[in-house]
Structure formats: C-alpha cells, structure tokens
C-alpha cells in the first residue's frame, strides 16, 4: 500500500480554486447526510484506551451546563500510549488491564449516532506537535484538533482525484507542505500566494451536521480529510509487531 505522502503526490492540482469560507453566514442549508459524514470520517484513524472488557476510557465534559461522560479520543497513537504508560506508572485503577486501540473515526461517529450523540460528543486530544504548528500558523493560542488547509486567491486550493474535485484538509502540517511544494513546482514560479489556514476539526464536524448556507454545504461536500502520515506508519508498525 502506498504511503500517505506518495498518495498526496499523485493528486492532480486543479487550475482554478473553490471559493468560499467555512465560516460565512447566511441562510440555513441542509446538512450532509449521515452516509456522507461517515464516508469522510472513514479515512481518519484515532485511538482510544479500553479496559479488559473493551470499554472506552471516559472523560468528564459539560453539555449545556450538565456534566456528561464522553469517550477520550486521541489523534495520535504515541500520545495515547504515553498517556496510558503514565497512568500505569501512577497505578491508576483503570490502567492495569487497559490497552490502546485504534478505531476509525467513522465507527465512533456511528456508535455515537446510535446512542443519540453527535461527532462533537468526544473529548479529543490533539497531537502536541501539530498543536504547536497550529499555534505558530495562527499566531495565537489554538483550541481543538488542528486541520491544515491551503488557501490561494481567496479560496481553498483544490485537487483532482479521479473524477472528483476535492478540498484536502490535513492533520499534519508537513503533509500539507507536500501538496504546496507540488503546486509550486507545477506553476513554475508563477505569482500565487499560498496561505495556510488552520481550522479545528471539531468546528468542521459541527458544520457538517449543521451548515450555515448552501455554499458552505457544497464546500463541505468537497472536503477530504487526510490523516497524519506518521499516524498511518504508527498503525502499520504496530500491526507488523502483532503479526496482523
């Protein structure tokens, strides 16, 4: 199977750009269907800590002033393993028989839907290095799981994958750079200013379920989420170690 970086390099850049912003106001629009959201989240591996019976470690959160328990979801596997190792060293009650498990974000979403929840009903733990990159790009404190996307001439830089025109959003700043470098090579120094925008995953998921207007809905239909290539390699390495 090709590495994520190799797959990014095979994406074809589109001559024009898709205009619009993820946070423009206006008339209400139909949300993406559950099937569409599941499809978009099916490319995103995440990590949870489960006990001996396979139950996920929960975290306390506030929902409208009411205390609720939500699954603790890690974006990177090393962060999840480090969290569990620290808990085991401190003899936390849950840690003795606990383990880190990888799961598609689409599966978590489907489970939450079955229980009447939403995609935002999780306590997301971002990759610390990507969070630092997000704060450097934004020039201020960043809250949430960062997604990196390229902007050009007032719109988002689209790519062609087969017959689809996509707006790629990356969990890793370095993976986005692969796309930016490819664009600059293909344009051969033509004047075009590429800007990197950082958007919280939580905000994107919320907009998928409740967009502000039809233009935003069309943009979200084109969004494709690309997981961190290092996370993909992490999963592959763990699978090789376990013989799967």
Contact between 76 and 127 under an 8 Å Cβ cutoff? The reply is yes
Give the model's pLDDT for residue 213: 66
How far is 77 from 50, CA to CA, in rounded Å? 13
Give the model's pLDDT for residue 107: 92
**Residue whose pair of structure tokens reads 């700043």 in the numeric block:** 173
How far is 160 from 9, CA to CA, in rounded Å? 11
Put residue 91 in one of left, alpha, beta given phi > 0 → left and psi -120 to 50 → alpha. left
Contact between 38 and 104 under an 8 Å Cβ cutoff? The reply is no
Give the model's pLDDT for residue 92: 87
Whole-prediction pTM value?
0.83
Q: Which parts of the chain have pLDDT scores under 70? A: 1-30, 62-64, 116-120, 189-192, 211-213, 243-244
Give the model's pLDDT for residue 20: 38
Task: Report DSSP letters for 75-98, one per residue.
Answer: SSHHHHHHHHHHHHHTT-TTTTT-
Contact between 126 and 145 under an 8 Å Cβ cutoff? The reply is yes
Give the model's pLDDT for residue 212: 65
Give the model's pLDDT for residue 48: 93
Give the model's pLDDT for residue 211: 65
């Amino acid at each position: 199977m090709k590495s994520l970086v190799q797959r990014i390099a095979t994406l074809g850049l589109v001559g024009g750009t898709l205009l619009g912003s993820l946070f423009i106001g206006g008339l209400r629009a139909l949300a993406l269907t559950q099937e569409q959201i599941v499809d978009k989240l099916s490319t995103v591996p995440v990590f949870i800590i489960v006990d001996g019976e396979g139950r996920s470690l929960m975290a306390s959160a506030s929902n409208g002033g009411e205390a609720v328990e939500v699954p603790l979801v890690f974006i990177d596997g090393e962060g999840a393993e480090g969290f569990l190792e620290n808990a085991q060293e401190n003899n936390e009650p849950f840690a003795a028989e606990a383990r880190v498990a990888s799961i598609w974000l689409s599966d978590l979403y489907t489970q939450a839907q079955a229980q009447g929840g939403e995609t935002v009903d999780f306590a997301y733990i971002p990759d610390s290095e990507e969070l630092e990159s997000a704060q450097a790009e934004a020039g201020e404190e960043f809250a949430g799981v960062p997604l990196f996307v390229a902007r050009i001439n007032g719109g988002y830089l689209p790519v062609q994958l087969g017959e689809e025109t996509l707006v790629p959003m990356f969990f890793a700043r370095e993976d986005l750079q692969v796309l930016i470098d490819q664009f600059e090579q293909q344009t051969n120094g033509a004047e075009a200013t590429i800007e990197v925008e950082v958007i919280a995953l939580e905000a994107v998921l919320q907009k998928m379920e409740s967009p502000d207007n039809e233009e935003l809905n069309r943009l979200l239909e084109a969004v494709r989420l690309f997981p961190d290539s290092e996370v993909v390699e992490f999963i592959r390495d763990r699978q090789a170690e376990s013989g799967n």
